[in-house]
Amino acid sequence: MKKIKILIPVYNDWESVFKLLENINLEASKIDINFSVIIINDASTDSIPKLSTSLDNLKSIQIIHMKENKGHARCNAAGLKYIYEKEDFDYVIPMDADGEDRPEELSLLIEKIKEYPDTAVTANRIKRSEGLMFKFCYLAHKYLTFVFTGQTIKFGNYTCLPKTIVNRMINEPATWSSFSGSLAKVAKEKNSIPSERGKRYFGPSKMSFMNLLKHSLSIIAVFKKTLLIRSLFFLIVYLFLVVGKISVITLIPVIAVIIMMLSVITLSKRENITEYNSSLENIESIDKIK
């Protein structure tokens, strides 16, 4: 029987995590798979409630408490490293804690890895639950990524990764900064399932415009060499076309591209393999709650 570790980073959103565990347990009852859950507690300040249900369909549940808050992306990265080095597993499925990654789609991921056992499977978004403005910004993020990197990235953290891909990711500096960007870099061949973005269990979405912008630029930073080449080509062609027509208006695209290049170069410094390799030193304690 295949052993799958579900990886869930969380910061203070414990009500959502426990609701997610109940729903994962429900779905696990329908699938002949050995599911275990590893929760990365990103130095939460809220107290953790006691588990009130048995969750009989999950083999084990661990909470790894981190000493310092490192952010969602680095929680995922540290979780992958911990699982690879400390756990016995065949696949890892990272999930957001808030319910936006729907447990109902776990069966689709499992069916796909049965067909392609050695390939990463991504949950590609076909429908989102946010407002119109956010959807527009997200669409702009996808097109911006494609134009300047040549990458079409329709997935987030919700994926199913075989052990070989996890090994590549924990040896890739970009994983410390961007999960989806790193996966796009190390796994050229991927399969996918259609995925609907679920609604949060509790509270408003934490993905603000600024967080989306940082998320987008962090992905682009993984492919910074391609970005720099394409940006320079754009600037040369654009300036050639507007020569003799230089004005404040015509310079806006030039300024925007330069700002993007500088931002990407700055964000790419987050890709620190030394910090990543020592990330497990940030573990304070581990609780086995099941």
CA distance 286 to 79: 12
In the prediction, which pLDDT does 9 show?
Answer: 97
Take residue 196 and report the two structure tokens written for it: 């609907």
In the prediction, which pLDDT does 130 show?
Answer: 58
Q: What is the pLDDT of residues 244-262, one digit of tens each?
A: 788 888 899 999 999 989 9
In the prediction, which pLDDT does 53 show?
Answer: 80
Q: Where are the domains of the chain?
A: 3-225+261-284
**What integer is the mean pLDDT of 128-157?**
77
CA distance 156 to 216: 11
pTM: 0.90
Q: What is the CA radius of gyration of the chain?
A: 20
CA distance 199 to 130: 8
Query: Does residue 36 have a pLDDT over 90?
Result: yes
CA distance 12 to 18: 12
In the prediction, which pLDDT does 286 show?
Answer: 96
User: Which superfamily does 3-225+261-284 belong to?
Assistant: Spore Coat Polysaccharide Biosynthesis Protein SpsA; Chain A (3.90.550.10)
**What integer is the mean pLDDT of 6-30?**
95
Helix, strand or coil for residue 81? helix
Q: What is the pLDDT of residues 52-73, one digit of tens each?
A: 788 999 999 999 999 999 999 9
Query: Does residue 163 have a pLDDT over 90?
Result: yes
Quickly state the pLDDT bin for 26 (edges 50, 70, 90): very high
**What integer is the mean pLDDT of 151-168?**
94
In the prediction, which pLDDT does 82 show?
Answer: 98
**What integer is the mean pLDDT of 107-122?**
96
CA distance 39 to 10: 7
Per DSSP, 171 falls in state T
Q: What is the pLDDT of residues 68-112, one digit of tens each?
A: 999 999 999 999 999 999 999 999 999 999 999 999 999 999 999
Query: Does residue 128 have a pLDDT over 70?
Result: no
CA distance 290 to 276: 28
Sign of the C-alpha dihedral computed for residues 24, 25, 31 and 35 taken in this order: positive
If one counts every other C-beta atom within 10 angstroms of the C-beta of residue 106, the result is 25
**What integer is the mean pLDDT of 183-209?**
86
Cβ distance 158 to 123 under 8 Å? yes
Query: Does residue 213 have a pLDDT over 90?
Result: no
pLDDT averaged over every residue in the chain: 90
- Paired with 195 in beta bridges are 125
CA distance 25 to 172: 32
CA distance 239 to 96: 43
